Structure 1
Amino acid sequence: MDTAAGCDAAGLARIVFAGLSPLVVEEVTDEGEWILVRGRTTGQAVLCPDCGAATARVHGYHERTVSDVCVDARRVLLVVRMRRLVCPTYGCRLTFREQVPGVLERYQRRTMRLAGQVGAVARELAGRGAARLLSELGIRLSRHTTVRALLRVPVARLPVPRVLGVDDFALRRRHRYATVLIDAETRRRVDVLPDRSADTLEAWLREHPGVQVVCRDGSGAYAEAVRRALPDAVQVADRWHLWSNLGKAVTKEVAAHSACWAKASLPQDGPRAQTTLQRWHQIHDLLQQRVGLLECARRLNLSLNTVKRYARVPEPERLQRAPQYRPTLVDPYRDHLRQRRTDEPAVSVLRLFAEIKDQGYQGSVNLLYRYITQGRVEGDRPSISPRRLARLMLTHPDNLTDKQRTTRDDLTATCPEMIDLAELIRSFAGLLRPQDGNSERLDQWITATRAANLPCLHSLSRGLDQDRDAVHAAVTLPYHNGGTEGVNTKTKRIMRQMHGRAGFTLLRHRILLS
């Protein structure tokens, strides 16, 4: 019975400590808070690290104590009896200590598999977070030790990619920026540069020849670096940035034509709208009498910036803004509430609350009170803001509701410029699906934009013309910079974990390992 139990214990030890198979495990002792494992080397001949001669001549013995992976959430200490061997080659070193590849490394206090676990946790959580998690697993290390273990994790050196993605990210917003380089085809990190200057990127491209296609945003510094280092490389502008630039220009153009489309929507007639209209007339009456802006501010008891804002607007309709109301649970019952208050003006709020409660309303009575007192029941369709209208124009029609589509069509048909703007948006959206004929269609779009009376889009067309080759490649080739933007999103998570305490070296290491 004892012999069988002993065999089972020996077999269990071989299973639990299978990672120590290059050693001969002699004894496993339970010390309470930790487990002590004693072992020795196999006694085979070892090659000299200098001359490579095999030797088994022992000069002496010594013990080496290291930590191994935890068992049952308890520390494991490994005490290994090592040999000091004599080199047989005359003139070589006299003695040397044998090593155990795959288990122990020179000067290390942890086994290879324990170091791998520590590095894996530190790669995801870095300093304090990794130290706390490792402590729960039975591995007690300081945050400084986990950072050093992270920096010892090797970074795989990838071959120079054929398609390179380049983008910048903020180390300190509006002050310091860095550049991340990825393989745009496999989306694997290639390198991280400490700034976003043209000289730094040019030096990297010259040291790593082989790049044929570079995906970038509209940065002039990156374009100049690629032009100087790789004159034959194809530069591809990022399509997302092209659409984003169009969205900014459209928002400005919609705001400039607010006097046209604002008349198509029913104006606001609340107290705030009346005050705005009255103030606009007061300021413009004084300006027609050649009263200065500062004097207008003094007479009307307004700030100078407010007077300037009203003076810049030629018509009061442009000052209309949509109320900043968020969607509420009352919105689906607005028509019923309006009809009931029209038929019976004295109906109580509690009565209305009971009626819509029977129809499925799940909100509170206080929410209904606020909804009614804000005038959202009787109010007609509010005037839409320029940003909201621009968003409707830039959204795919299939993603709009029938009401949103009707609102967009009604407001864009108010003047010829808005009609031209809507048509240019539709034609530009078709260019964002790369195909062979898009190059000619892009030239036609730029020509049509310049012919239209849309000054804000003229500046966009000039920017596209200055970077014409990269834009043509963006609308005809399948490459894009989406993978680089995804890496930047993960980089922000890494920087939030590090809380700005670590330097660029550690940040670069974590980005390349992630």
Structure 2
Amino acid sequence: MIDLDELVGVVFSGLSPLVVKDVVDDGERIRVRARTPDGSVACSGCGAETARVHGYHDRTVADVPVDARRVLVVVRIRRLVCPTRGCRQTFREQLPGVLERYQRRTTRLTSQIGAVVRELAGRAGVRALSALAVGLSRHTALRLLLRVPSPQPRVPRVLGVDDFALRRRHHYATVLIDAQTRERIDVLPGRTADVLEAWLRAHPGVQIVCRDGSGAYAEAVRRALPDAVQVTDRWHLWHNLGEAVLKEVAGHSACWAKAGPPLQDGKRAQTTRERWHQVHDLLGKGVGLLECARRLNVSLNTVKRYARVGEPERLQRAPQYRPTLVDPYRDHLRRRRSDDPAVPVLHLFNEIKALGYQGSFNLLYRYITQGRVEADRLPISPRRFARLLLTRPDSLTDEHRRLLDDLTTACPQMIDLAELVRGFADLLRPHEGNAERLDAWIATARTCDLPHLHAFIRGLDQDRDAVRAAVTLPFHNGGTEGVNTKTKRIMRQMHGRASFALLRHRILLA
């Protein structure tokens, strides 16, 4: 059994430096009466010890709740007389760790409030604390948050740099972390080269910088730290390769989709062929790309897209159909039309209706007229084909592997593209010998008829040293991307209304 004095000592153990005299239950709150211990106290001005009491007064502070009820601590404080001549005449004693100067809350309650507002900030923190019987305003919560000391910026050996949007397409900021420990270093206002350059010059000592493909960050590092090693992020390299692969697959859909439904040769396909001939006729006469766009009244990017391909059929796209209710009965329809090519569609409709078909007659009629019954396989979109090319071979099922083999063998360019994708995937495993392999991969890719991949290679050439470092060194920018994800959560909590100083403080404390 625990007696009352022991129970009070356990519940209010944080008040152990005080002498608890009484605990009163006031209904909605608990009032604790206490006093400071007897003995001499050092003067806050000169440090001389004294026990001479000038007077007493009561000080009321809030403590951590008990049983979902507020706790008020009324402490009898001594005012002491300083014995040193010329120092202050009297001073009020303080108890570090329990009672701080000018505070209306105990130290342990302030630390608990700080932990909540560090995660939830103002309004959300107030709502959570009110459920815990701690009452304060959102302004007080933010003031307590800003009083939490943020870590001092230090200079890491490997620095991770990335930007995030304060307001998309308008205002951005830069976050800096230690790429090895993922510790937040600093948050800078803006994402220009001058902002990062100023920070690097003020904090020398960085040896390696991990970044994405930003030209501004690359320029800042070249100016401030010409001897530092820049490492581009491997995820961004793979992502950019995926975009180029998707464009190549879409550009050759007229070739690899031959085994599927026939290409639609309608008005749109005819317009595409006519425009391709117009663009190449003007280019053959020495007309520039911009002048071609003006004469044909199309955008410059459209002219570039037509100029890249060597034949108009490569601009045609394979038809993309959504799954329909007829798909489960495709084999039956195909067998019936093979046995009797003149079978009426109405008879087929009645047959599959008896098998459980729940769609309409018009849906079945369109399905047949689009050629989806006689096709060797169901149509596949360029995006799905590109996804098969970019998927790790060990993760493909047998069906997907057979489908990928059929699609790539139908087009010579797709065979080259599949080999290049596998070769580049091997380069993303950092190794010292990958620098020579990267040069060989680029040389091989330039010999293939893949214009969109050539554009990707030109991007690699502009940042060749950073790409070499990415495929040879183990450092990457994944930790910075993770910090950006948490930063977006913090910004959503604050509803975009926080100042940059408060947002920076929360990011560094997270």
- Does the alignment reach a TM-score above 0.5? yes
Per-residue Cα deviation, 1:218-242 (whole angstroms, up to 9, x for no partner): 1111112222222222211110011
Q: 1:375 to 1:194 in 2, by over 3 A?
A: same
C-alpha separation in 2, matches of 1:373 and 1:142: 67
Amino acid at match of 1:277: G
Whether the 8 Å CA contact 2:430–2:470 is kept in 1: the answer is yes
Structure 2 residue aligned with 1:197: 192
Structure 2 residue aligned with 1:34: 29
SS in 2 for 1:10: helix
Match of 1:150 among 145, 153, 168: 145
Match of 2:121 among 115, 123, 126: 126
Q: 1:473 to 1:135 in 2, by over 3 A?
A: same
Whether the 8 Å CA contact 1:27–1:39 is kept in 2: the answer is yes
Structure 2 residue aligned with 1:315: 313
Whether the 8 Å CA contact 1:68–1:78 is kept in 2: the answer is yes
Could you tell me how far 1:39 is from its partner in structure 2? 0.8
Q: 1:245 to 1:20 in 2, by over 3 A?
A: same
Could you tell me how far 1:336 is from its partner in structure 2? 6.9
Residue 445 (1) aligns with residue 448 (2): no
C-alpha separation in 2, matches of 1:373 and 1:128: 59
Q: 1:368 to 1:170 in 2, by over 3 A?
A: farther
Match of 1:481 among 461, 472, 477: 477
Could you tell me how far 1:421 is from its partner in structure 2? 1.7
Amino acid at match of 2:45: D
Residue 424 (1) aligns with residue 424 (2): no
Identify the range of structure 1 (19-28 vs 127-136) with the bigger mean alpha-carbon deviation.
127-136
Residue 466 (1) aligns with residue 462 (2): yes
TM-score, normalization: structure 2? Answer: 0.84
Per-residue Cα deviation, 1:60-102 (whole angstroms, up to 9, x for no partner): 2221111111000000011111122222222222222211111
Whether the 8 Å CA contact 2:261–2:319 is kept in 1: the answer is no
C-alpha separation in 1, matches of 2:432 and 2:363: 54
Could you tell me how far 1:347 is from its partner in structure 2? 4.5
Listed as ranges, the gaps of 5+ residues in structure 2 are 280-296, 340-346
Per-residue Cα deviation, 1:260-301 (whole angstroms, up to 9, x for no partner): 223243326xxxx4xx624534786799999xxxxxxxxxxx
Whether the 8 Å CA contact 1:322–1:382 is kept in 2: the answer is no
How do 1:351-362 residues align onto structure 2 when only pairs under 5 Å count? 351-353=354-356
Aligned residues: 475
Per-residue Cα deviation, 1:299-339 (whole angstroms, up to 9, x for no partner): xxxxx999x9899693397133312449x9x97x5567657
Identify the range of structure 1 (222-231 vs 481-490) with the bigger mean alpha-carbon deviation.
222-231
Per-residue Cα deviation, 1:46-73 (whole angstroms, up to 9, x for no partner): 2222322222222222211111110000
Q: 1:264 to 1:379 in 2, by over 3 A?
A: closer
Whether the 8 Å CA contact 2:79–2:90 is kept in 1: the answer is yes
Identify the range of structure 1 (235-244 vs 337-346) with the bigger mean alpha-carbon deviation.
337-346
Amino acid at match of 1:392: L
Per-residue Cα deviation, 1:440-491 (whole angstroms, up to 9, x for no partner): 1011112222232222222222222222221111111111111111111111
Whether the 8 Å CA contact 1:119–1:150 is kept in 2: the answer is yes
Listed as ranges, the gaps of 5+ residues in structure 1 are 291-303, 354-364
C-alpha separation in 2, matches of 1:349 and 1:132: 60
Structure 2 residue aligned with 1:385: 381
Q: 1:280 to 1:257 in 2, by over 3 A?
A: closer
Amino acid at match of 1:110: R
Per-residue Cα deviation, 1:349-377 (whole angstroms, up to 9, x for no partner): 67434xxxxxxxxxxx8689999687499
C-alpha separation in 2, matches of 1:199 and 1:287: 45
Structure 2 residue aligned with 1:81: 76
Structure 1 residue aligned with 2:20: 25
Structure 2 residue aligned with 1:141: 136
C-alpha separation in 2, matches of 1:287 and 1:423: 29
Whether the 8 Å CA contact 1:341–1:347 is kept in 2: the answer is no
SS in 2 for 1:345: helix
Structure 2 residue aligned with 1:50: 45
Structure 1 residue aligned with 2:266: 277
C-alpha separation in 2, matches of 1:374 and 1:124: 56
Residue 345 (1) aligns with residue 345 (2): no
TM-score, normalization: structure 1? Answer: 0.83
Structure 1 residue aligned with 2:56: 61
Whether the 8 Å CA contact 2:163–2:175 is kept in 1: the answer is yes
Identify the range of structure 1 (407-416 vs 12-21) with the bigger mean alpha-carbon deviation.
407-416
Residue 496 (1) aligns with residue 488 (2): no
